Structure 1
Amino acid sequence: MAVDKKGKQLPPGIRQRANGRYEGRVKVEYRSYSVYADTITETKKKMRELKYKLDHGLFVEKEKITLDEWNKTWMVQYKKNRVKNSTYNSYQKYYKGAISKRLGKKNIVDIRGEHIQSLYNDLVKEEWALSSIKVVAAVLNGCFQQALKNGLIERNPVKLAELPRQKERKERQAMTKEQQALFMEYAKESYLYNFFAVMLRTGMRSGELKGLKYTDIDKKENVIHVQRTLKYIEGQGYLEDTPKTRTSTRDIPLTEDILALLENQKGYWGFKVERLDRYLFCNEEGKPLSRERVQAEIDRTIKRIRAAGHDFPRITSHVFRHTFATRAIEAGMQPQVLKTILGHSSLAMTMDLYSHVLPDTKAEEMQKIISMF
């Protein structure tokens, strides 16, 4: 039986190396694998962990595993059952689109901080949004951090790279009262008129409104239950998902005009068999509305406005949410109330909206305190 430098007997499979560290050997199917540690206790623990990985097919050799291979393991073993389906698919999309072609074939032990930095710099040159680069960084960091925990690498190279500086953020776009009235006037003949009108009155996200069913309309409590969102996953089509954040699952007060719009939408396409569990806002076949169809209808409405001789900016469906928030702030709605209706995860997000809206009315507000002096 092996002994250490002090003559003390060592457990089976463990020996002390010349540098004082301990080596533990595990044999599986006539092949030996080694782990190293500073103490006998730690060595025994690593041996147990190694034996478990070898028995369950989770072991990979440091020298041979590429980032593509490890990312696949990380996604399936560590993320699939822990994150939302939409998040899982988003991680895959960003890995495939930004990471794999640049670093995927490299062994993870060979990837250094400068490789990560070069990746970020390339994405900046390709004019990726900083928010998207941050998602890429999050995917890389999670992947390498788990590799570090599993003993596959000595340190996480993502920690050695710097994200690009935040560019000056674009001003949040919202329609003025005049633009809002103009848009809705020219959208009267659109099959999405009710969709646009409800977005303007509730501030719901486009995906939340697309996933709304008549069963979510609670006439007894006079609220709309926002409890799902529709997301398009490449190769799978439209899938229901939980709202964006925990606070996005919420109830929005149901006013008479909102209810009238929803009731009108209920039978809009005149389906012979009316199902209360189908999506209220859908296409003529009863299928989910695509982002492209919504944007195309917004563009057609703007085209009619411009043809009539009016100036009008190009907008997206998210502008309706910002417009609702702007009107709410202008009407004096309190930040905490607006936060709840919008489903923001923090009050800071709501106050950021206030910082964009209130400067437009500061001169008017200053007049209110003149009488105090």
Structure 2
Amino acid sequence: MPVYKNEKAKGDNKWWFQFYTGEIKNGVRERITKRGFRTKKEAEKALIETQAAIQKGEYIEPTKKLFQEYLQEWIKTKRNLGEQTLELYDSYLRTHITPAIGHIPLAKLSAHDIEMFLDSLHDKGLAAATIKRIFSVVNAALNAAETKDIITKNVANKVEKPQVSRRRELIVWDPDFVSDFLARTKQASRYWIAVYLAIMTGMRQGEILGLRWSDIDFDKRTLTIQQTVNRHREIKAGAKTKKSMRSVALSPETIEALKDHRQFIVQERVALGPAYENNNLVVCTQFGGPVTQRAIQKVWTSFLRKTNAPKITFHDLRHTHATLLIKQGVHIKVISERLGHSSVSITMDTYGHLMPNMQEDAAVGLDSVITTKTR
């Protein structure tokens, strides 16, 4: 076996191999060289695999591209992802993946490199769920590289996938607390309506900030989600997913709250005249422009402090909305549609534990429809 040990370079005792393929390219005999094997056995195994791949016509010339260069090309192909998901991926690339392993050539990236990368994320104190999502991005990128024959195999498949030991406990408010909270905060900020809509509709923050008056049918008591506002304060057509572009039924009290808020907005628009930036938004600045997520966060934090409420995120209001519906016995499919989940299974995974008596109720309910006497 033509494998060799590199003993010339000080401190480098790794093995390597080289052989001629039998092909002539540009008048030169083609040869393949691979280095960096820790043991002779590893080098011999890789040599056999490489020779076998050449014989089958499956050999892929190792790319010299760095992993970070490939990642930048790969992320541009992910046009099917929602804008917020793309922003999250980009954040993971910039903040964690590229600084740690982006400098490694794609063809030389190893399972060991990825394992060390995951360990570094743990050392940073990142949550297990975040580490799992970051690994998923790396894995997806390498899967694409393998599919497109840029690399021979996805080395991330050899890495034990990060596990999330326990789902974060959902903290939700009971109906009495919700009523008290809304009453105590109603006059505290112009952005109270955003909190109200989150509780009463289960909409995402970006969906609430993108809601227009033209998206609301006051007679039919419905609203339609057709655009969002992102973290850069940009108005974007569409929603997170196709299922997110949905119609949501509104309660009579929600309609009244929206009418009161609209009257307030109209007064501001008239007072400013031509200086008003008319985007037709329900939640807007005093000048009519889109509201930043940071502004909503500041108001939300002040509301929690004012009411001494349990600390939950603005997004958790979606969970409160879902829980209130579950307590009313609303069908899980209806809840899923209101939340804009891509499938009912996502809704069940998130809220199924809140319905421990569903099977028991179903079993007992059979007695009301089956009248056969058993004794």
Give the TM-score category using the shorter length.
Answer: 0.7 to 0.9
Does the CA-based 8 Å contact 1:215-1:277 persist in structure 2?
no
> Aligned-pair distance for 1:118?
1.4
> Aligned-pair distance for 1:251?
0.6
1:295-306 equivalences in 2 (<5 Å) = 295-306=297-308
The separation in 1 between residues aligned to 2:173 and 2:249, in whole angstroms, is 23
5+ residue gaps in structure 2? 1-18, 33-52, 369-374
Q: Name the residue aligned to 1:165.
A: 163
> Aligned-pair distance for 1:224?
0.6
The separation in 2 between residues aligned to 1:304 and 1:275, in whole angstroms, is 31
1:224-373 equivalences in 2 (<5 Å) = 224-233=223-232, 237-240=233-236, 242-269=238-265, 270-272=268-270, 273=273, 277-306=279-308, 312-359=309-356
| 2:74 maps to 1:74 | yes
Q: Which moved more, 1:125-134 or 1:334-343?
A: 125-134
How many percent identity over aligned positions? 23
The separation in 1 between residues aligned to 2:64 and 2:244, in whole angstroms, is 44
Q: Which moved more, 1:324-333 or 1:346-355?
A: 346-355
5+ residue gaps in structure 1? 1-17, 51-60, 307-311
Q: Name the residue aligned to 1:101.
A: 99
1:77-88 equivalences in 2 (<5 Å) = 78-79=77-78, 81-88=79-86
The separation in 1 between residues aligned to 2:208 and 2:31, in whole angstroms, is 56
Q: Name the residue aligned to 1:115.
A: 113
1:100 counterpart letter in structure 2: T
Does the CA-based 8 Å contact 1:298-1:315 persist in structure 2?
no
Q: 1:356 to 1:145 in 2, by over 3 A?
A: closer
Q: Name the residue aligned to 1:89.
A: 87
TM-score (norm 2): 0.74
Runs of 4+ more than 6 Å apart = 30-36
1:343 counterpart letter in structure 2: G
The separation in 2 between residues aligned to 1:271 and 1:294, in whole angstroms, is 21
> Aligned-pair distance for 1:213?
0.6
- CA RMSD in angstroms comes to 3.5
The separation in 1 between residues aligned to 2:246 and 2:127, in whole angstroms, is 30
Cα-to-partner distance string for 1:82-140 (whole Å, 9 max, x where unaligned): 44444333322111111111111111122110111111122123232333223322321
> Aligned-pair distance for 1:211?
0.8
Does the CA-based 8 Å contact 2:210-2:235 persist in structure 1?
no
1:169-184 equivalences in 2 (<5 Å) = 169-184=167-182
The separation in 2 between residues aligned to 1:186 and 1:163, in whole angstroms, is 46
TM-score (norm 1): 0.74
> Aligned-pair distance for 1:150?
4.2
Does the CA-based 8 Å contact 2:22-2:29 persist in structure 1?
no
> Aligned-pair distance for 1:161?
1.0
